């Protein structure tokens, strides 16, 4: 049986974590927040802090934690180097010519999933989802996409 944690202790832990996140963002420029999947929902990871560069945060679903971290830190470095990503069209964020598509997240979806970023930034979060293809280079909106619901698309695909 799980021990009961009183609400004051839980709130103190939450505030301590948010202070740590703020410290990491101040020191490093951004951090990666991972969220475990469960109950039929895939895990995901997202950036916290890129808004201070005037850029949307990024979110990516269903990648191994080390891969998600590498991808998100890679785009973070590019943003710090003054690269600005926009939704729509292919990009090769993954390197080796492997395509990805950037989708602007619906604000309600971003608010629901990027909770730490929302709290750290003190309000709504603008976010881009990095959508990756299956082995046949098909995306979730393409006929024959083989990965099912592993990657929910959080916004409208634009060209």
Total domain count, the chain: 1
Give the pLDDT confidence score for residue 1 in this predicted structure.
Answer: 47
Contact 80, 55 (CB under 8 A): no
In a domain, 37, yes or no: yes
pLDDT tens digit string along 8-46? Answer: 888 899 899 999 999 999 999 999 999 998 888 889 999
156 within a domain of the structure (yes/no) = no
Residue carrying structure tokens 């997202």 = 46
Round to whole Å and give the CA distance between 139 and 135.
Answer: 10
Residue 90 included in any domain: yes
**Looking at the domain assignment, is residue 157 inside a domain?**
no
Report the candidate in 72, 65, 62 with the shortest Cα–Cα distance to residue 30. Answer: 72
pLDDT in tens, the chain (159 residues): 456 778 888 889 989 999 999 999 999 999 999 999 888 888 999 999 999 899 999 999 999 999 999 999 999 999 999 999 989 877 777 767 778 899 999 999 999 999 999 999 999 999 999 999 998 989 999 999 998 888 899 998 776
Considering the domain boundaries, does residue 69 fall inside one? yes
Residue at 108 is within a domain: yes
Asked if residue 45 is part of any domain, the answer here is yes
The candidate with the shortest Cα–Cα distance to 120, out of 52, 73, 44, 34, is 52
Question: Considering the domain boundaries, does residue 39 fall inside one?
Answer: yes
Q: Which domain holds residue 13?
A: 7-150
pTM confidence score: 0.90
């Amino acid at each position: 049986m799980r021990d009961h944690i009183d609400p004051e202790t839980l709130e103190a832990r939450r505030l301590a974590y948010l202070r740590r996140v703020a410290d990491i963002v101040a020191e490093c420029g951004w951090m990666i927040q991972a969220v475990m999947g469960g109950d039929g929902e895939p895990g995901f990871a997202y950036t916290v802090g890129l808004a201070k560069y005037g850029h949307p945060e990024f979110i990516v679903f269903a990648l191994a934690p080390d891969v998600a971290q590498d991808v998100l830190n890679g785009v973070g470095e590019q943003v710090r180097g003054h690269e600005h990503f926009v939704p729509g069209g292919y990009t090769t964020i993954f390197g080796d010519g492997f395509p990805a598509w950037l989708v602007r997240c619906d604000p309600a979806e971003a608010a629901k999933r990027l909770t730490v970023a929302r709290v750290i930034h003190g309000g709504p979060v603008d976010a881009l989802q990095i959508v990756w293809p299956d082995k046949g280079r098909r995306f979730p909106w393409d006929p024959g996409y083989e990965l099912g619901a592993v990657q929910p698309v959080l916004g409208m695909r634009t060209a």
